[in-house]
Each structure stands twice: as structure tokens, then as C-alpha cells.
């Protein structure tokens, strides 16, 4: 219940233009500004620096250029060009060829056909260079269309593309069966959006139970699945389930967010598991940042402390 209220509250705040303007001015201003805990930087150079540091720690990564819900075709075109430039920059830098993106960033709210064309343009450059492109999953309003786009491109032969399923949605176990049967690569998450009772589990115990059921199917029958969580119970359960079913650590990966549970990331790497860090960067960091606060209200104390610290340092 508390988690739901907290998520809802921060989603509401995320829509405040004033807060966004104020936060955007101070959140990334200095090397120790508060948003830097979760955001790797505002440009690709900063993101690549973070990427190299992550790889030195034995971790894998996926880069996400922040941005969502663009409202004009010009913005969608700019986001697409940005991703094409990122693909080139990653190749030049020699870091992990793996990116995550959102369809609403490529213009889904403006014109679905153009958003799909934009995705195709990115894949045309990314796939021959051995990139893996993950379609992040957004709020439930976009579930059908995101899965439909994924399944269409998959049927057309785009094998460097993967999708995300959210355990919180009641429909996800069925989606998993279908996408798994296709051979699609799935990232399993709990779900970052506040969703209505009719379509989503509301209690943490119910979400965790659905996550566990889906994890089990993915580990034994999935295709290089990603178990994306910081929940130690879910991670422990995954490790045990994989070991009991003879599934080696090379057949799946854990994924965690940049700046979250770095201790757990390190301990899994030292136990020989593959761990991929989701590395977000860019100037449009505010909605992403607010979702992270909503997941763990204790993060607000961290923001307040760093603001006070920043005041003192000034």
C-alpha cells in the first residue's frame, strides 16, 4: 500500500514543470550533484566514461539515452539521430554494444508508423554492428503496441531486439508464454508505473509471487533472459532455481540500475554471475529520476543531504 502511494506521489510530482525546471538547474550541475547518483551524465562522453568504469568492475552494461513521450515529429527525429550517433560513438569507444530505448521517445504518441520507421533505422545501423537493442516497457497504455511492434519486427527477422515484461501486470504471464515461444529475449522487471487494480497486482507480495513464477519459466525455458531486480530475495531465488535445474550462469543475466545496490552488483560478479548495469544519461533525466525516488522514498533523504552538502560547498 505504502509503495503504491509513494509511486503515485512521485509520478504526480514528475509532471510538475516548475519542479522539473528547478531540479534540472541543480541536479547535475556539479560532480556530486544529487541526480548524478542515478544518471551517468548529460552527454555521451560522460556516459562512455561511466561505461568504462563499469566494465573495469567486471560488469556488463546497456546505455539508455533518456527521453520519453515526445510530442512532435521533429523531437522524434532528433531522438532517432541521437541514437544513431550513440551507436557510432559506442563502436568508436569499444564499449558494450547494448542500448535500451523507449518507443515514445521515437514518436509513438505522434505517429506509430514513424516511430516504427525510426526504430528500423536504428536497427539497420545497430544490428550489423552486433548491437542488442532493448525496447523498454512503459506504462500499461503502451503494453499492447510495444509488444506488437516487437513481435512484428521479430517476425521480420530483427534478432538483435528484445523486450521487457512487468510482473505487476496480470497479463504478463501470458505475454511471456507467447514471446518465449517465438524465441524472444525478455527482461523481467517488477514494473515502475502505478497501474490500476483491474489490470495490475497492487500488493508487493503478489508482484513478487508473479515475478518468481515468471523468473522460473525464463530460467528454465527462456532465451538469454535478464532478471532485472535489486530484490535480494528474488536474486537468491533465481540463483537457487538455476542451480537446482542445472542452468549455468552463462545462460542468463541479472540486471540492475546505475547507482543502485552497487554492493550487490559486485558480490554477484565475484560469484561469477553476469550482471548488466542499466546506464541512463542525457538532459531529459527528470521523469526517470522521479521514478527512482518513488521506488525508495529513502532516496529523498539522500537528495536532501546532497543539496545541503552542496549549499555548504558553495
Ligand X SMILES: Cc1cc2nc3c(=O)[nH]c(=O)nc-3n(C[C@H](O)[C@H](O)[C@H](O)COP(=O)(O)OP(=O)(O)OC[C@H]3O[C@@H](n4cnc5c(N)ncnc54)[C@H](O)[C@@H]3O)c2cc1C
Contacting residues toward ligand X, per CB under 6 A: 136-137, 164, 166, 189-193, 228-231, 255-257, 260-261, 278, 292, 295-296, 299
Q: Are 35 and 289 in contact (CB under 8 A)?
A: yes
Instruction: Supply the minimum distance, in Å, between the C-beta of residue 310 and ligand X.
Output: 20
Instruction: Supply the minimum distance, in Å, between the C-beta of residue 226 and ligand X.
Output: 7
Is residue 123 classed as helix, strand or coil in its secondary structure? helix
Q: Angle 214-219-224 (CA atoms, 0-180°, nearest 5)? A: 110
Pick between residue 11 and residue 261 the one whose CB is nearest to ligand X. Answer: 261
Q: Are 257 and 278 in contact (CB under 8 A)?
A: yes
Instruction: Supply the minimum distance, in Å, between the C-beta of residue 81 and ligand X.
Output: 23
For the packed helices 286-295 and 2-14, what is the interaxial angle rounded to 10 degrees? Answer: 160
Instruction: Supply the minimum distance, in Å, between the C-beta of residue 206 and ligand X.
Output: 12
- The C-alpha cell of 162 is what? 528484445
Q: Are 294 and 10 in contact (CB under 8 A)?
A: yes
For the packed helices 286-295 and 17-26, what is the interaxial angle rounded to 10 degrees? Answer: 100
Pick between residue 8 and residue 88 the one whose CB is nearest to ligand X. Answer: 8
Instruction: Supply the minimum distance, in Å, between the C-beta of residue 98 and ligand X.
Output: 11
Tell me the C-alpha distance between 182 and 247, whole Å.
20
Pick between residue 15 and residue 72 the one whose CB is nearest to ligand X. Answer: 15
Positive or negative torsion for Cα 298, 100, 215, 247? negative
Pick between residue 120 and residue 261 the one whose CB is nearest to ligand X. Answer: 261
Name the residues annotated as catalytic.
Answer: 136, 187
Tell me the C-alpha distance between 40 and 134, whole Å.
19
- The C-alpha cell of 116 is what? 516504427
Pick between residue 73 and residue 139 the one whose CB is nearest to ligand X. Answer: 139
Amino acid at each position: 500500500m505504502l509503495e503504491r502511494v509513494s509511486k503515485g506521489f512521485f509520478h504526480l510530482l514528475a509532471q510538475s514543470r516548475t519542479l522539473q525546471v528547478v531540479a534540472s538547474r541543480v541536479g547535475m550541475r556539479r560532480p556530486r550533484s544529487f541526480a548524478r547518483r542515478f544518471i551517468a551524465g548529460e552527454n555521451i562522453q560522460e556516459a562512455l566514461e561511466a561505461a568504462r568504469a563499469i566494465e573495469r568492475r567486471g560488469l556488463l552494461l546497456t546505455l539508455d539515452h533518456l527521453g520519453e513521450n515526445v510530442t512532435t515529429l521533429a523531437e522524434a527525429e532528433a531522438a532517432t539521430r541521437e541514437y544513431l550517433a550513440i551507436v557510432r560513438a559506442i563502436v568508436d569507444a569499444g564499449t558494450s554494444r547494448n542500448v535500451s530505448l523507449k518507443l515514445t521517445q521515437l514518436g509513438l504518441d505522434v505517429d506509430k508508423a514513424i516511430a516504427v520507421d525510426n526504430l528500423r533505422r536504428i536497427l539497420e545501423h545497430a544490428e550489423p554492428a552486433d548491437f542488442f537493442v532493448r525496447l523498454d516497457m512503459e506504462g500499461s497504455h503502451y503494453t499492447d503496441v510495444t509488444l506488437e511492434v516487437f513481435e512484428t519486427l521479430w517476425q521480420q527477422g530483427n534478432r538483435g531486439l528484445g523486450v521487457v515484461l512487468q510482473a505487476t501486470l496480470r497479463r504478463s504471464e501470458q505475454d511471456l508464454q507467447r514471446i518465449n515461444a517465438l524465441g524472444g529475449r525478455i527482461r523481467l522487471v517488477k514494473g515502475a508505473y502505478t497501474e490500476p487494480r483491474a489490470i495490475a497486482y497492487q500488493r508487493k507480495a503478489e508482484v513478487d509471487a508473479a515475478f518468481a513464477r515468471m523468473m522460473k519459466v525464463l530460467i528454465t525455458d527462456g532465451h538469454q533472459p535478464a532478471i532485472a531486480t535489486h530484490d535480494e530475495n528474488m536474486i537468491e531465488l533465481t540463483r537457487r532455481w538455476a542451480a537446482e535445474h542445472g542452468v549455468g550462469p552463462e545462460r542468463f543475466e541479472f540486471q540492475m540500475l546505475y547507482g543502485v545496490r552497487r554492493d550487490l552488483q559486485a558480490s554477484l560478479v565475484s560469484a561469477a554471475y553476469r550482471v548488466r548495469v542499466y546506464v541512463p544519461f542525457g538532459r531529459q533525466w527528470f521523469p526517470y529520476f522521479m521514478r527512482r525516488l518513488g521506488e525508495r522514498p529513502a532516496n529523498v533523504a539522500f537528495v536532501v543531504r546532497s543539496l545541503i552538502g552542496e549549499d555548504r560547498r558553495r
